[in-house]
Amino acid sequence: MGTEELQEYGADQIQILKGLEAVRKRPGMYIGSTSSRGLHHLVYEIVDNSVDEALAGSCDHIEVTVHKDNSVTVTDNGRGIPVGINHQAGIPAVEVVFTILHAGGKFGGGGYKVSGGLHGVGASVVNALSEWLEVRIFNEGKIYQQRYERGKTMYSLKVVGECDPDRHGTEVTFFPDREIFDDIEFDFDVLKQRFREMAFLTKGLRFTFTDERPEDGPKQRVFHYEGGIIEFVQYLNRSSSALYPQVIYCEGTKNGVLVEAAMQHNDGYKENTYGFVNNIVTPEGGMHVEGFRMALTKVFNDYARKNKLLKDSEPNLTGEDIREGLTAIISVKIENPQFEGQTKMKLGNSEARSAVNSIVTEQLTYFLEQHPNVGKSTVEKSVLAQRAREAARKARDLTRRKSALDGMSLPGKLADCTDKNPKNCEIFIVEGDSAGGSAKTARSRATQAILPLRGKILNVEKARLDRIYSNAEIKAMITAFGTGIHEDFDISKLRYDKIIIMTDADVDGAHIATLMLTFLYRFMPELIKTGHVYLAQPPLYKVEKNRKVWYAYSDAELEKIMQEIGRDSGNKIQRYKGLGEMDADQLWETTMDPEKRILKRVNIDEDSASEVDLTFTTLMGDKVEPRREFIEENAKYVTNLDV
Ligand code: TSJ
């Protein structure tokens, strides 16, 4: 090593190049997509290797830096990728890692490799999809280096300098290939969220995340949790009141499955259980989450009976009753995870169910004996949930029977459209009666329906089901949409192709929109997933000059208009504080006219487990040229649903 050699391409090398060529031809097969999500997977792919090193007990610090040009450096203080020759391939092990498909971690043996499933396709994939990638290894006082371009080795591994003999670790820098990715701009919040999650899931591991791009200097976040998922639960419960001070924690290994579970109830009504397999979130749950739920239901019922908190004549608490207000993390590490389900994000290994079930059953039973306050307050809350559930069922049966009887009577406040083909129709959910009035005047009667809602709608995260079902605004939305909710939901009954939330362009309006999205997300998530939910975008400003009118939808756009028409005393700028300030014509022209308006379509970002992310894609009538740049600058923003 250390001498420059000319690359000779033998049969082995040709096979290697073919492997990486396949990745470049069909990148989606390896990283899911070449959108922003795929781009971010590149970083996780590299970081997963350092996390494995931490799980092997050989590394406790990972640094990730996004440079100004969107190249990314990942550094760890592990043992360093082995530099010795891999005898099977005849090249250094590190080169195998980067140039042979699916070779990640398999060499050397002995390493505890758990990352896998969807993300663990290896460093060679990242290499293949990078314009260039450089690796440096610090070991035994030497610095080794190798560079690749679009997966091709540029020179043999060489020693480029010396380092402190105590220093050891791996440093990888890559620059995503602009031929592959639509856009190579990394999102600070997306990466930050993921590193925080990884730090929670790997107790003791410190992440330093630096973004060098901001003009006003680098932004840095450090994530380091000695308490691991215990601190994760505390973090998730940070804005709720806990029912008891402790976080219950269970840990163990059974049948080759490493199990960790942490939980705490809050005084709310929603369940927040997140499953992870090898640090990858499983949005559809699976065997590990099933095992956890089985254990919880059994242990709390046994506890309630044994301590006479539930009378012999009363029925058992259901799992749902017990999980009301529960925040929990179940994290398993397993050698060969089998992912199932529609999105391949549901754990199929049944040994995970029995492992979690038996570890949680045993340790939770013991914990409750030691902490009677926890058992008592949880069972009391569950009994209240049981009663509310019964009341809600009655209320729901009543609404079901009613709608069956009087042929789905539509809410009185709804101004429905006349066209009966849902494909052509849209409904505007409008904040306030006065804006509702303007919207009714402005609308195109044939295809646009208006449903005005009064004031702030109920926050469904903070109310029990019986109260939710009896809320007038919520009942009006449910009947207007026609689909039913939860297990009754049927998208084929949807009465409108677009559900458009129209609120004031201010803080209150944003809050109301969030409450509505929360309701839709919790009660009819399919509506969002299938792209039927939109946010209207009323303008922020009206500019008048010489009887000509312009509307601006952002401060940047106002600035642009002002530059175009020139600043002088003849200009009149009006800042719209609410929809109510516009007359019907203006409302139509700026916000409702399908030819001219801007709409944002709401999506759910499934990658992010613990903070549900809604992403908004901007859509607009295609006849208005000058707004193109607005689409680009607003293409994405993220909102936390936890209100
Ligand atoms: F995969 C990779 F190249 F992308 C990458 C690997 C990137 C980064 C930033 C770090 C790593 C990495 C690999 N960090 N630490 C390791 N460790 C090993 O490869 C290693 C070292 C020693 C032994 C051993 O058995 O002695 C085993 C392994 C897996």
Per-residue pLDDT averaged across 14-33, rounded? 85
Considering the four listed CATH numbers 3.20.20.80, 3.40.109.10, 3.40.50.670, 3.20.20.70, the one that applies to the domain covering 406-539+585-604 is: 3.40.50.670
Looking at residue 35, the DSSP 8-state letter turns out to be: S
Nearest atom of ligand 1 to the alpha carbon of 74? 9
Per-residue pLDDT averaged across 634-640, rounded? 33
3-state secondary structure of 285: coil
Q: Is 74 in the pocket of ligand 1 (CB under 6 A)?
A: yes
Q: Is 176 in the pocket of ligand 1 (CB under 6 A)?
A: no
Nearest atom of ligand 1 to the alpha carbon of 75? 9
What distance in angstroms lies between residue 211's CA and the mean position of ligand 1's atoms?
A: 24
Give per-residue pLDDT as tens, 58-103.
999 999 999 999 999 999 999 999 999 999 889 999 999 999 986 4
d(CA 257, CA 255): 6
Q: Within a 13 Å sphere around the CA of 384, how many CA atoms are in the beta-carbon half?
A: 13
d(CA 439, CA 306): 60
> Quick one: which H or E segment has residue 158?
strand 158-162
Nearest atom of ligand 1 to the alpha carbon of 53? 15
- Catalogue the E-assigned strands of 23-129: 61-66, 72-76, 85-86, 91-92
The lowest-confidence range among 18-22, 162-166, 271-275 is 18-22
Nearest atom of ligand 1 to the alpha carbon of 59? 15
d(CA 302, CA 308): 10
Give per-residue pLDDT as tens, 275-289.
999 999 998 999 999
Give per-residue pLDDT as tens, 243-267.
999 999 999 999 999 999 999 999 9
Amino acid letter for position 374: V
Please classify residue 585 by burial: count the beta carbons closer than 10 Å to its beta carbon, then call 0-12 exposed, 13-18 middle and 19+ buried.
Answer: exposed
**What's residue 15's pLDDT?**
67
d(CA 495, CA 493): 6
What distance in angstroms lies between residue 145's CA and the mean position of ligand 1's atoms?
A: 14
Q: Which residue has the higher pLDDT, 469 or 452?
A: 452
> Quick one: which H or E segment has residue 37?
helix 36-55
Q: Which residues are catalytic?
A: 431, 504, 506, 508
pLDDT reading at 405 higher than 60: no
Sheet architecture: strand order including 498-502: 448-453, 426-431, 498-502, 533-536, 598-605, 613-620, 638-640
Q: How confident is the model at residue 1 (pLDDT cuts 50, 70, 90)?
A: very low
Token pair belonging to 17: 């190049």
CA dist 322 to 231, 259, 588, 630, Å? 22, 21, 49, 48
Q: Which residue has the higher pLDDT, 29 or 357?
A: 357
> Quick one: which H or E segment has residue 474?
helix 472-481
Mean pLDDT, the chain, as a whole number? 86
Give per-residue pLDDT as tens, 478-536.
889 988 887 778 899 999 999 999 998 888 888 888 889 988 988 888 999 899 999 99
Take atom 17 of ligand 1 and give the residue whose Cα is closest. 81
Nearest atom of ligand 1 to the alpha carbon of 107? 29
**What's residue 121's pLDDT?**
47
Contact between 288 and 229 (Cβ < 8 Å): no
Among candidate residues 317, 320, 293, the one with its CA nearest the CA of residue 305: 317
What distance in angstroms lies between residue 40's CA and the mean position of ligand 1's atoms?
A: 20
**What's residue 471's pLDDT?**
84
Q: How confident is the model at residue 613 (pLDDT cuts 50, 70, 90)?
A: low
Taking phi over 0 as left and psi of -120 to 50 as alpha, with beta for the rest, 164 belongs to beta
Classify domain 3-224 at the CATH superfamily level: Histidine kinase-like ATPase, C-terminal domain (3.30.565.10)
Token pair belonging to 577: 């504080």
Q: Is 120 in the pocket of ligand 1 (CB under 6 A)?
A: no
Per-residue pLDDT averaged across 594-616, rounded? 73
Token pair belonging to 36: 């922003």
**What's residue 248's pLDDT?**
98
Helical H runs in 307-432? 319-322, 350-370, 372-405
Per-residue pLDDT averaged across 367-393, rounded? 92
Phi first, then psi: give them for residue 476, nearest 5 degrees.
Answer: -60, -45
Instruction: Round to the nearest angstrom and report the end-to-end CA distance of the chain.
Output: 58
Q: Which of 41, 43, 48, 49 to mutate to test the pocket of ligand 1 (most atoms within 8 A of CB)?
A: 49
**What's residue 636's pLDDT?**
33
Amino acid letter for position 72: V
Q: Is 111 in the pocket of ligand 1 (CB under 6 A)?
A: yes
Distance of CA 32 to the CA centre of its chain: 15
Q: Which residue has the higher pLDDT, 366 or 455?
A: 366
Q: Which of 63, 79, 101, 148 to mutate to test the pocket of ligand 1 (most atoms within 8 A of CB)?
A: 79
What distance in angstroms lies between residue 335's CA and the mean position of ligand 1's atoms?
A: 18
pLDDT reading at 397 higher than 80: no
Q: Is 56 in the pocket of ligand 1 (CB under 6 A)?
A: no
> Quick one: which H or E segment has residue 585?
helix 584-587
pLDDT reading at 433 higher than 70: yes
Q: How confident is the model at residue 608 (pLDDT cuts 50, 70, 90)?
A: low
**What's residue 483's pLDDT?**
87
Per-residue pLDDT averaged across 282-301, rounded? 96
Give per-residue pLDDT as tens, 352-366.
999 999 999 999 999
**What's residue 359's pLDDT?**
98
CA dist 245 to 242, 429, 609, Å? 6, 41, 24
Q: Is 462 in the pocket of ligand 1 (CB under 6 A)?
A: no
Q: How confident is the model at residue 118 (pLDDT cuts 50, 70, 90)?
A: very low
Please classify residue 418 by burial: count the beta carbons closer than 10 Å to its beta carbon, then call 0-12 exposed, 13-18 middle and 19+ buried.
Answer: exposed
Q: Which of 58, 75, 81, 137 to mutate to test the pocket of ligand 1 (most atoms within 8 A of CB)?
A: 81
Per-residue pLDDT averaged across 219-232, rounded? 97
**What's residue 496's pLDDT?**
96
Q: Is 53 in the pocket of ligand 1 (CB under 6 A)?
A: yes
Taking phi over 0 as left and psi of -120 to 50 as alpha, with beta for the rest, 115 belongs to beta
Neighbours of 613 (CB within 10 A): 19
Take atom 3 of ligand 1 and give the residue whose Cα is closest. 123
Residue extents of the structural domains in the chain: 3-224, 229-390, 406-539+585-604, 541-575
> Quick one: which H or E segment has residue 338?
none
Q: Is 108 in the pocket of ligand 1 (CB under 6 A)?
A: yes
Q: How confident is the model at residue 399 (pLDDT cuts 50, 70, 90)?
A: low
Per-residue pLDDT averaged across 588-606, rounded? 87
d(CA 200, CA 232): 6
Give per-residue pLDDT as tens, 304-362.
999 999 988 889 999 999 999 999 999 999 988 999 887 778 999 999 999 999 999 99
d(CA 494, CA 488): 12
For domain 229-390, say whether CATH 3.40.50.300 is its number: no
Q: Is 19 in the pocket of ligand 1 (CB under 6 A)?
A: no
Take atom 20 of ligand 1 and give the residue whose Cα is closest. 81
Per-residue pLDDT averaged across 624-635, rounded? 32
